[in-house]
């Protein structure tokens, strides 16, 4: 599977989640992102178009970017505690995507950075598969792997 993985605001392109995906034989594009750079979103969108992903995954601010890129490319997205609200700043993002991709929402129900209950309300009018964990904002690798196994099942069922 070809996967775009977008890290969070203070994250790194190379991390245990990317390592896990690669160890399972997936081809992963994971750019280092400076979310304060006004060109970041468009650069990632352009690169993602040419990469032709089967799935886009993102954590926190990367989840916000992943959702909007999924709307442009019509590619399923997996969002880990996405910063759809409560962002510390507003990045330059093109929200004009016309598609409605499949959405897999993975939330830490004890997240104090991005309120998971507010996130659930954001999707109240959409058909979304939601997976919940007992963690905070940072997604533990054990929860990540469990979510990924579930998403693979839904994608290939």
Tell me the domain boundaries of the chain.
2-156
Does residue 125 surpass a pLDDT of 90? no
Backbone φ and ψ for 90, nearest 5 degrees, come out as -100, 110
**Amino acid 13: pLDDT:** 95
**Model pLDDT for residues 34-55, shown as the tens digit of each residue:** 999 999 999 999 999 999 999 9
Distance, in Å, from the CA atom of 50 to the CA atom of 43, rounded to the nearest integer, reads 11
- Residues 46-51: contacts with CB within 8 Å, 24+ apart? 48/4, 48/73, 49/73, 51/2, 51/4
56 closest CA partner among 156, 157, 155:
155
Does residue 81 surpass a pLDDT of 70? yes
Return the CATH fold of 2-156: Rossmann fold (3.40.50)
Does residue 113 surpass a pLDDT of 60? yes
């Amino acid at each position: 599977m070809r996967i775009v993985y977008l890290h969070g605001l203070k994250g790194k392109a190379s991390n245990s989640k990317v390592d896990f995906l690669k160890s399972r034989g997936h081809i992963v594009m994971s750019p280092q992102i400076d979310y304060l750079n006004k060109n970041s979103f468009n650069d990632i969108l352009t690169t993602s178009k040419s990469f032709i992903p089967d799935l886009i995954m993102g954590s926190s601010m990367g989840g916000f970017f992943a959702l909007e890129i999924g709307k442009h490319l019509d590619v399923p997205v997996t969002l880990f505690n996405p910063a759809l609200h409560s962002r510390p700043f507003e990045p330059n993002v093109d929200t004009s995507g016309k598609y409605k991709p499949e959405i897999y929402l993975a939330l830490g129900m004890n997240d104090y950075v991005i309120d998971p209950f507010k996130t659930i309300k954001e999707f109240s009018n959409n058909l979304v598969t939601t997976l919940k964990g007992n963690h905070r904002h940072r997604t533990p690798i054990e929860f990540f792997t469990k979510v990924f196994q579930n998403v693979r099942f839904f994608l290939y069922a």
